[in-house]
Structure 1
Amino acid sequence: MANKKKPTGLGKGIEALFQDNNVDTSKEDVIDIKVSEIKPNPYQPRHRFDQKALQDLAISIKNSGVFQPIIVRQPDPQVASYELLTGERRLRASKIAKQATIPAIVRNATEEQMMEIAVMENLQREDLTALEEAEAYNMLMTRLDLTQAQVASRLGKSRPYIANYLRILGLPSEVKELLEDNQLSMGQARTLLSVNNKQDLIQLAKKSVAESMTVRQLEQAAAKINGKKGTKKKKAPRKSPFVRESEGQLQEKFGTQVSIVNSSRKKGKGKIEIQYTSTDDLNRLLEMFGVDLN
C-alpha cells in the first residue's frame, strides 16, 4: 500500500503524462509503492529485455536505490493496485534486487493513453526490434481504430514509414523469429517480401543469415529466385497516375502489396488484388476488414 496520499494526475493529455525525463518531477508527490502492488503495462511492445543490463541495474538499485521514480496509474483509488505507465526496466530490476517498494508518481491516464505511452516510451528511449515496432504500430491501429496516417501523426512518423513496418507482419513465422532475434534487419525483411514463393522466402532468409548477406546481395538473390522459371511476362499496360496513387494509398492502409487491375475493356470495370504472405497476414487483413471467423 502507498505510504502517502495519492496525488491527482495532471490531466493534460498524452504530453502531460509522458514527461518522465522531460520535466522537473520534484514538484510532484513521489510516493513509495509496494512492488507487489504494481502490474506491468499490458501494452508493453517489448518482448525481450537484456538480462545482463537488468542485473547491472538491479545491483545499482540495491546499492543506491532508484533515483528516478516510475510513473503509474491507480484505476480504483479505493484499491491498493497500480498499473505501470513508464519505468518497466526499473520495476523489473527492483524485483530482481528484491526491493519491497519503489518510488513512484501516480497520474491519471485512460486506457488509450496507457497504450500510447507504452509505445512512445520504447520508440523514444530504447531500440525495439523491427518486429516489435511493427506489432506496436499494428496494436495502435487495431485497438484504437486508427488509420496509418493517424498513427504516423501521433508518433511523428511518415505514413510510408509506418506502412513499411506493417508489411513485415506478413512474413512467415520462421522469418519473424530471425527478426525478433535481430539476425535480420528491417532492410533485409523488406527485400524478402518481394519473394513470391513462401518456401523460397524462408530458405533465402536463412541463407541470408548464414552467409551474412547485404541488402544488395539479397535483392539480387530475390530477383533471381522470382525469375528462375524463365517465363516471360507480358508487359503490363501502363497505369494512370490516379490508379498508381490509389494503389499507393491502399498499400499504406493495408501494409501489403495491392494492385488495381483493369480486367475488362469496359471502362471502370476491374478488380483490386490484395496480397498476403501467410495465414497470420491473412488474419490481420481480415481483422482490418472487420471479418470475424470465430
Structure 2
Amino acid sequence: MKPSQFAKGFQARPDTTSSEKRTALDRLNAIDDLVKSDSSPATKPPQHPRAANLAPAADNDDTANESAEYRTWRLAHGYSPGQVVDLELKAIKPSPFNPRHFYLKASIAELAVNLAKQGQQQAIHVIPDYANPGTYFVSDGGRRVRALKEANKETVKAIVVDLPIGIQSYKLGYDLNVQRDSQTVFDNAIVWRRFLDEQHFQSQKELAEHLGLDESTVAVALSLSKLPESIMQEMVGRPDRFGSNMAYQVGRYHAARGVDATLRLINKIVSDDLSTRQVADIVKGRTGPQESPKPAGRQRYAQRMEIKLDGVSVGDLKSYGDDRLELRLRGLSREKRDEILHQLELILLPKQ
C-alpha cells in the first residue's frame, strides 16, 4: 500500500524531540485543566465553530507557530486556540494513526450511562480534515466518542488542535494514553504491524527509532500481532495479569497449541494466578496447563560467574547441565534493571 496523504506528516516531517512532545502534552493537559475549572455561563461553547463570531486571535505563543492550514481554518471559522465547541458526532471520525485499537464494550457501555446522566465533562481533541471540510479526526477521546454514540447523543464538546495526521499525532496520543495507563501492548501489536504492512516503516528497527523506543519493546509487541484478536480480547481487559512478558508466553503457547487450548490457558492464568515463570514452564512442556508446576529439586550448578558493577558485586550467572542458565541480580537501580531486561529480550527474541 502506498503511503496516503495522511502519512505525509508520518514520513516527511522531522521527528519531534522529547522536549517538543513534552511541551505538546503539557499544552493539551493545561487546556483540559482550564476547561474543567471554568464553568461560568460565558464560556459555554457555540454550537459550531462558525457560530463563534469571534475576532481573529492575535499572534501570540499559541498562534505564532501554527501551521498554515490550521491558521486558514481557524480564521475562516473565527476560532480561538483552546476554545471548546460543539460538533456533530457524525462529523467525527477515527484517525488512521489512532494509537488505540481495542475498546472494551463493557467500559464503553458504563461510560455511556455516565454521560447520559451527567453529560460530557471533558472535551475531546480533534484535528480538521482539511481535504474534507466539515469533518474532523479524533486526536484524543475515541472512547468518549464511542460512548456518546451509544448514549444516542448527537454532538460532542471538542477542542480543535493544530497537529498533522501522522507520526506527531500518533506519538501525542500514545504518550497521553501511557500517562493514563490506557495504552496496552495489544494496541501496539495491531497498530505497529499495520504501520509495517503499509510500509510507513521499512523495519522494526526504523519503527523503534521513530517512536523513541527500544527495539526489543517493538519486537515483543510485533510477535503478539500473530495472535487472533479473539485471544487478545481475552487479555486486554486484564493489564494487571497480561503485561508484555505474560502475553509473549501466551503467544508462544498459541503457536504450538492453537486457539482453544490457549483460551483454556488464559482462564487458568486468571483463576490460579499463575506467574510468568509458571506459564513459561507450561509452554516448555515441563507441566501441563491443568496442573501446577512442582518446584524443582535442588541441583548443583556446573559453573558460576560473579557479576560486578563499578567494582561492587550485584549477583551471579550460573549454568546447570547443558540447557539451563540462571541469572540473579540485586541492588540495581530501576533504570539499570530495565536496561538489562531490554538487552536480554533483544538477544532472545527472533527478528521480524
Same fold (TM over 0.5): yes
- 2:265 partner letter: S
Q: Does 1:91 align with 2:148?
A: no
Question: Paired residue for 2:29?
Answer: 22
User: How high is the TM-score relative to the length of structure 2?
Assistant: 0.50
Aligned 1:106-255 pairs, distance under 5 A: 106-112=160-166, 113-141=168-196, 143=198, 144-145=200-201, 148=204, 151-152=207-208, 155=211, 157-171=213-227, 176=232, 178-180=234-236, 182=238, 185=242, 186-192=244-250, 198-200=255-257, 205-212=262-269, 213-224=274-285
Q: Residue 163 and residue 80 in structure 1: after superposition, are their counterparts in 2 closer, same or farther (change >3 A)?
A: same
Q: CA RMSD in A?
A: 4.2
Closer, same or farther in 2 for the Cα pair 1:124/1:36, shift >3 Å? same
| More displaced 10-residue stretch of structure 1: 44-53 or 101-110 | 44-53
Alpha-carbon spacing, 1:190–1:51, altered in 2? closer, same or farther (3 Å)? closer
How many aligned residue pairs are there? 227
Identity between Structure 1 and Structure 2 (%): 20
Deviation at 1:86, TM superposition (A): 0.9
- Matching residue within 85, 100, 120 for 1:46: 100
> 2:102 touches 2:187 (CA, 8 Å); kept in 1?
no
Matched, 1:65 2:119: yes
Q: How far, CA to CA, are the matches of 2:255 and 2:178 in structure 1?
A: 30
Pair 1:54–1:193, CA change in 2 (3 A) = closer
1:72 Cα offset (Å): 1.0
In 2, the alpha carbon distance for the partners of 1:82 and 1:174 equals: 30
3-state SS of the aligned residue for 2:29?
Answer: coil
* Residue pair 1:41, 1:118 contacting (<8 A) in 2 also: no
Match of 2:129 among 66, 71, 75: 75
Check 1:70–1:20 CA distance in 2 against 1; reply closer, same or farther (3 A cut).
Answer: farther
Unaligned segments of structure 1, at least 5 residues: 1-11, 227-234, 237-247, 259-284, 286-294
Structure 2's unaligned 5+ residue stretches are 1-13, 35-80, 288-321, 324-341
CA distance in 2 between counterparts of 1:42 and 1:219 reads 36
Give per-residue Cα distances to partners, 1:109-153, cap 9 Å, x unaligned. Answer: 222133334434433324344322222333445553165455445
Aligned runs of 1:4-15 on 2, under 5 Å? Answer: 15=21
Query: 2-side partners of 1:17 and 1:149: how far apart?
Result: 25
TM superposition shift of 1:174: 7.2
Distance 1:54 1:172 in 2: 22
